[in-house]
Amino acid sequence: MDDSNSELESFRRQWRAEVTAKAKEDRKPQPKSTASASKATRRPVLATRYTAEKGAIPADDQQDDEPHVEGPPLRRLDAHSSNDSESSKNGSTEPTSALEHYEKAVEKETEGSLGDSLNLYRKAFRMDHRVDQKYKTKHFPPSSFSAKPANPNPSNAPVTVPNTAHHSLDGPPQTIKELIAGFAGLSIETAPPAIEGTEAPPCFLAELPDEILIQICTETAMQDVAAFVKLSLVCKRLAYLVATEEQVWRRVCLGSEIGFRAMHYDWQREILGGPIEEDDPVLEDDLGECASSPTEESLPLGKDQVTMALYKNIYASSWRQMFRLRPRIRFNGCYISTVNYIRPGQGSQSQVTWHNPVLIVTYYRYLRFFRDGTVISLLTTTEPSDVVHHLTKELADTHRNGGAPHLPSTVMQNALRGRWRLSTMGDNPEAGLKDAEGDVVIETEGATGARYIYRMELSLRSSGKGAKNNKLVWRGFWSHNVPTDDVAPFTLRNDKAFFWSRVKSYGMGS
């Protein structure tokens, strides 16, 4: 009997120990799910104890393995300390001043919270409209940047004047005229050898005397003035010859190839291209005065005499300046006028529309001048790439009546033959020697046959800084009814100026 009681008492103690241990495990705090990964790896916090206000700890709970010291009552850490720390943290980071709002906005913008940053920016600027300057001063003080260099232009010269800091001590930079004059004593240098230590390739131009070199430049200029001018890009010696050799430019100006002897200041042909006759019909201007070609008796000076007078008095004895600036017709291309205008269209009758259609109409006028005094005038909607290569007198005569539904017949059947001349002092006696030139008079056949004659008056102008005499501006356009001798002007409301365009297939022009 005693053995059974002792065994029962032992079982009771063992059972109580298990219940007490289980209760202690249940009272241990569980780690929060919101804790960071770094806190989760730390050693678990021991079970917290309760203060005296919550009641005494059972005696069985005091049998811990860890020793402890009795002290003042403690609060539960997991419940109150975390809340207090979080509230204190929020209270300390809440912005109050404009600068703090601005800093918080920058932080939110960096994190990608654009909506929050925008609200904070607005609050900051409402509190202080210069908060951005204060932020810059605080975080980016001037001392953190390198000082600006001293003023490189202490003379406060305009921007267009070259910087004096880069000038040499020899004085101001040379002008173009002085620079070209410095090339006078230079010679054509040979090219360096392709491989160091080997013989340099021969340069035949460097061995030629100046007389032969000038003759080569003259022949090049007579073939193509643009190619002659590009010789100045080869070397300094050729640049000096192109800019200063008046012998070459005199040959160009007085030549009949592209010079002023190729210009016509009176009619050379009749309108259809044949030799001129005494009873050739002419168009009278609106003042009633005869607009025929001036005769040699009416001209105060001949063609060569006018050229020499202009050379001495107007163009400062420079043949190069005269060729660039004096009005002249170009034969190695054609003049093109592109006209665009808008007119209302017609809406669809089968549909209800809320808008009115608008049509953009584009057409072109072409003028090609020939050395014999004839000209071809064409009005068409065909683009220049399909027209300019067919503007020849042969195709104009061949396709006058059309008939073929392809190029060039579809274009050249509308071409009009005519003649041209430049104005002289006989056209405007009150004008000076220079102002008397510069106008172009063109007479062509009418679109309906020999009954009408069209007369155009245009002025030679320049477009752009480098190009000269590449533009024809309208002055007037008339229609002359030959049987009735009536003259009626055309309106020039939509017509635009002509611009010269070079055509390689023309060569030097015919």
Residues 329 and 186 in one domain: no
Residues 397 and 313 in one domain: yes
Q: Which of 278, 273, 220 is nearest to 249 (CA)?
A: 220
283 assigned to some structural domain = no
Using a cut of 0.85, tell me whether the model's pTM lies above it.
Answer: no
Measured CA distances, 303 to 18, 278, 309, 310, 437 (Å): 136, 22, 10, 11, 12
Q: Each residue of 450-468: b (16+ CB within 10 Å) or e?
A: eebbbbbbbebeeeeeeeb
**218 or 54, which is more confident?**
218
Contacts of 397 (CB under 8 A, 6+ apart): none
438 assigned to some structural domain = yes
CA distance 371 to 332: 10
pLDDT band at 147 (very low <50, low <70, confident <90, very high): low
Q: Tell me, what's the pLDDT at 49?
A: 41
Q: Which domain holds residue 483?
A: 303-347+354-506
**β-pairing, 439-446 with 449-461?**
antiparallel
List 335's β-bridge partners, or say none.
Answer: 367, 500
Q: What is the mean pLDDT of residues 397-426?
A: 86
**384 or 4, which is more confident?**
384
pLDDT band at 1 (very low <50, low <70, confident <90, very high): low
Residues 373 and 437 in one domain: yes
CA distance 238 to 22: 110
Structure tokens at 497: 């100026």
Phi and psi angles of residue 102, each rounded to the nearest 5 degrees, phi first: -65, -45
CA distance 43 to 216: 100
CA distance 414 to 395: 11
CA distance 222 to 507: 12
Neighbours of 317 (CB within 10 A): 11
Q: Tens digit of pLDDT for each residue in 171-185?
A: 678 888 888 888 888
Residues 235 and 310 in one domain: no
Residues 235 and 338 in one domain: no
Q: Which amino acid is at 83?
A: N
Report the range of poorest mean pLDDT among 318-332, 343-357, 432-446, 491-505. Answer: 343-357
Residues 412 and 325 in one domain: yes
Q: What is the mean pLDDT of residues 113-128?
A: 90
Is the pLDDT at 222 greater than 90? The verdict is yes
Specify which of 15-19, 47-51, 66-70, 368-372 reaches the highest per-range mean pLDDT: 368-372
257 assigned to some structural domain = no
Residues 439 and 383 in one domain: yes
Residues 178 and 131 in one domain: no
Phi and psi angles of residue 305, each rounded to the nearest 5 degrees, phi first: -65, -40
Contacts of 54 (CB under 8 A, 6+ apart): none
Is-contact 235 185, C-beta < 8 A?
no
Q: What is the mean pLDDT of residues 358-370?
A: 94
Residues 181 and 133 in one domain: no
- Number of structural domains the chain divides into: 3
489 assigned to some structural domain = yes
Residues 178 and 315 in one domain: no
Residues 454 and 311 in one domain: yes
Is-contact 441 420, C-beta < 8 A?
yes
CA distance 266 to 263: 9
Is the pLDDT at 277 greater than 60? The verdict is yes
Residues 324 and 381 in one domain: yes
Average pLDDT, the chain: 79
Helix (H) or strand (E) holding 216: helix 210-223
468 assigned to some structural domain = yes
Q: What is the mean pLDDT of residues 16-36?
A: 66
CA distance 253 to 353: 63
pLDDT band at 86 (very low <50, low <70, confident <90, very high): very low
Structure tokens at 220: 């090049």
490 assigned to some structural domain = yes
294 assigned to some structural domain = no
150 assigned to some structural domain = no
Q: What is the mean pLDDT of residues 315-342?
A: 94
Measured CA distances, 243 to 129, 230, 378, 412 (Å): 64, 11, 39, 42
3-class secondary structure, 304: helix
DSSP per position, 409-449: HHHHTT-EEEEEEE--TTT-TTS-TTTT--EEEEEEEETTE
Is the pLDDT at 370 greater than 90? The verdict is yes
pLDDT band at 141 (very low <50, low <70, confident <90, very high): confident
CA distance 339 to 380: 11
Q: Tens digit of pLDDT for each residue in 185-199?
A: 888 988 888 888 888
